[in-house]
Amino acid sequence: MVRTARFSSDDFLDAAMALVAEGGPTAATMQAIARRVGAPTGSIYHRFDSRSAVLGAAWNAAYASFVAALAPFLLGGHPREAALAILPWCGENERRARFLLLHEPVALFEDSPPPAPLRLALERLEDEFDAAFRACVTACGDGAAREEDLARARFLIFDGPIAILRPYLVQGGALPPFVGRMIAELHAGMPLVAGQGTPAAAAA
């Protein structure tokens, strides 16, 4: 008779994200992750060789989910909608959002980097996301993605919205409804591409 595993890899990844979200990177030890799942410590080592492997797989899972939520809008040339898509993603993935958006990989992997296959998988995700981002900037301009345009787009789509959300992600719980208005107003007040004028002015 085949014995079914009680604990899946996803169980350990979810536990790792929860621990980092609640207590920072140092909270996610192998013992703490296993304890959070309710599994013996040996069980986690059947699936992951090291703490960096668990955190690397968790980071890739959270990042892939984030990319999947925003990339379609970026590829369609809709920067404001891409920025606003961060809100429902955070609402549906609170644990992943706090894990991904409140921490830097350097803090997660200061002891040792993730295994090479996980690093390569993350590089592929980053390349996919960067291609979608650059396609959006190109579509919104004159076909050339200049350094200033890329900097503006990063601020409007990622850095600005995440800075607005950060205090509420730290606090936890539902995001207040006005953060969406703030992100929309950010886009209304600043053009994605230099020299185009604001979207509000262009529509007037």
- pLDDT tens-digit profile of 130-145? 999 999 999 998 777 7
pLDDT confidence of residue 199: 53
Positive or negative, the Cα torsion across 172, 101, 95, 25?
negative
Element (H, E) at 44: helix 41-45
On the question of pLDDT at 5 being above 70, the answer is no
Which pair of structure tokens corresponds to residue 202?
């262009």
**Average confidence (pLDDT) over 5-21:** 92
pTM for this entry: 0.90
pLDDT confidence of residue 196: 66
Instruction: List pLDDT tens digits, range 35-67.
Output: 999 999 899 999 999 999 999 999 999 999 999
Give the angle 188-194-200 at the CA atoms, nearest 5°: 20
pLDDT confidence of residue 1: 41
How far is the C-alpha of 192 from the C-alpha of 5, rounded, in Å? 50
On the question of pLDDT at 202 being above 90, the answer is no
How far is the C-alpha of 91 from the C-alpha of 81, rounded, in Å? 16
Domains and CATH numbers, the chain: 51-195 (1.10.357)
**Average confidence (pLDDT) over 168-187:** 94
Contacts of 42 (CB under 8 A, 6+ apart): none
Q: How confident is the model at residue 198 (pLDDT cuts 50, 70, 90)?
A: low
**% of the chain with per-residue pLDDT over 70:** 93
Least confident of 11-20, 26-35, 100-109: 100-109
Which pair of structure tokens corresponds to residue 108?
């997660």
On the question of pLDDT at 203 being above 70, the answer is no
Range ranked top by mean pLDDT from 42-46, 181-185, 195-199:
181-185
Cα Rg of the chain, angstroms: 19
**Average confidence (pLDDT) over 142-161:** 91
**Average confidence (pLDDT) over 65-72:** 98
Give the angle 127-121-69 at the CA atoms, nearest 5°: 60
For the residues of 175-203, what is the DSSP string, one character each?
Answer: PPTHHHHHHHHHHHHS-SSTTS--HHHHH
**Average confidence (pLDDT) over 195-200:** 58
